[in-house]
Amino acid sequence: MAMFLYPLWILFIGALAVLLAGSNTKRGLFPSLLSFFVITSSTLVLIPYVFFGRPRAVAGPGGLFLFTLEPLSTGFALCLSIIGAGHIIQLAGWGPLKGGNGKEGASALFGLGLAMGTVFSSDLLTMAFFAEAACLFFFMMVKKRSQGVCFSVVHDVFFFLPTAVIAFMLIFQGMTGGLDQLHTGNMHELSCLFLGVYILLRLFLLPFSFFPDAMAGVFGEPLLAGLAVFTLFASVIMTVRALSAGPGVAFAVFMISSMVAGIYSVMAYRQRDFTRLACCIFIVETACIAGAAGLHSLMSASAGRGLFLMICNHFTAATGTVFTAVMMQRNGGRVPSVFFIVFMLALVGLLPCAGLAGKILLYREALREGGNVAAAALVPAFFSVLPVLFFVRWFGTVKKGLTAAGARVDAAQAVFLAILAANLYLPLLYSMK
C-alpha cells in the first residue's frame, strides 16, 4: 500500500520539477503544461482508491506520519485536485504571467500537496503538521506577493497565535498523556480545549486578520486566491476530524462558527465593494460548514455523506464565486455574470447540485434526531441562505454584466469555469460508494 502515497510524492516532486523547468524557461507554456501534467497524474492516481471500501493505514517515511486510505478522504482529495487542476489552467492564462512561469506553478502544486496531506492524515500529529505547514506557506506567499497591502505586527500576531497554541498543546499532551495517545484520539481534557481554541483561531481569526484590505488583495491575484482556498480546505478538514476528540470541541466549534457567521453577515451587508462582498460571503458559508460539522458529530454516521457533499460543493462554488466576482469587476461581460449567478446559487445551496443534496441529507438527519440538534440546525441553515438577500442590492451590477458585451473570456478562463461547474456535480458520483 505504499503506492497510496504516490499522489503526495507526485505533487511535491512535481513542484520541484516545475520550479527547475521555470528557471530555464522564463516564458512559454512548458512550465504550465508540466504543472497541469503533474496535477492530472495525481488526480488519476486517486480515482481507483475511491472504490476501496475498507480503510487502510499507511505510514510515511520512517513511520513519522500516518495516513489513512478510505473512500471519504480520497473523495475530498479528488475534489481538491480537480479544483487545483482548474487553478493551474487559470494561472496559465492570467494576464501578467501569460504562458505561466515555474514559480507560480510550483507554489500551487506545493500548497495543494500540503492540503492533501492534511486530508489523508489519520492522526492529530500528522494533521497538525500538514495543516500548519499549509497555513505558514500561504502566509509567506501573501507577505511576499501581495501588493499595495500594509502588514502590521497585528497581522503577524493573529497568524502565529494559532501556531503557538497547537505547539503548546502538543507539548502539554506529551507531558501528561503522551503523544502516542494522539493516534487513538485519547486526549487529556485540557488538550481537547487547546485543540478547540486552535481550530477556532486558525479557521476564523485568519480571515479577520486579513480582512478587508488584505483579503481583497489576496483574492485579486489568482495564485494567492488558490492557496487561500487550499489552506481553508485543509483547516475545515482538520476541524471535521478533530471533532471526535471530545464533545466540548464540537460545542465550541458550533457556537463560535455561528457567531462568526453572524459577524461576517453584518460585514457583508455593509460592504460597498463587490469583490469584498464575495469574500465576506465565502467566510459566512465556511462558518456554516464548520457549524454543520459540529452538528454532524452529534448525529449518526449516515449524515457523513451529506457533510461530504456540502464541503466539496462549498469550496468549488466559493472558488467560482470569488473568481467570477473579480472577473466581473475587471472586465465585465456575460460569461462571468452567468457563471457568477450559477456559483452563487450553488454556494448558498439553492442550485440542484451536490450542495443541495448534501443539505437535504444532513438536515433531514438533524430533524430525525429531534430535540436540541434539530433546533441548532436552524442556525447554519439560516445563515447559509442569508447571503442571497445581500446580493439583491447588487442585482443591478449583475444585470449590467448580463447585458454588456465586456471583454472576451480567454480559453484558460473558460476551461477553468467549466471544470468548476462540472465539479459541482462530480462529488455525487464518487460519493455513492
- Given a cut of 50, is residue 208 above it in pLDDT? no
When pLDDT is averaged across residues 125-147 and rounded to a whole number, the result is 81
Provide the 8-state DSSP code for 410: P
Mean pLDDT of the chain: 76
Residue 405's beta-bridge partner residues?
Answer: none
pLDDT score at 2: 47
Interval 271-296: pLDDT, tens: 777 777 777 888 888 888 888 887 77
pLDDT score at 1: 45
Cis peptide leading into 212, omega within 30 of 0?
yes
Task: Measure the CA–CA gap between 309 and 306, rounded to whole angstroms.
Answer: 5
Q: How confident is the model at residue 176 (pLDDT cuts 50, 70, 90)?
A: low
Interval 251-268: pLDDT, tens: 777 888 888 888 888 888
- Given a cut of 50, is residue 99 above it in pLDDT? no
pLDDT score at 8: 82
- Given a cut of 70, is residue 38 above it in pLDDT? yes
Q: How confident is the model at residue 96 (pLDDT cuts 50, 70, 90)?
A: very low
- Given a cut of 80, is residue 207 above it in pLDDT? no
- Given a cut of 50, is residue 431 above it in pLDDT? yes
More confident residue, 388 or 78: 78
Task: Measure the CA–CA gap between 88 and 116, rounded to whole angstroms.
Answer: 16
pLDDT score at 278: 79
More confident residue, 215 or 308: 308
- Given a cut of 60, is residue 368 above it in pLDDT? yes
Interval 309-330: pLDDT, tens: 888 898 999 888 888 887 777 7
**Can you read off the three cell numbers belonging to residue 314?**
462549498
**CB atoms inside a 10 Å sphere around CB 64:** 10
pLDDT score at 382: 86
Residue 121's beta-bridge partner residues?
Answer: 67
Helix runs in 177-303, H state only: 189-200, 206-210, 213-219, 222-242, 247-270, 274-296
Rounded to two decimals, the pTM is: 0.85
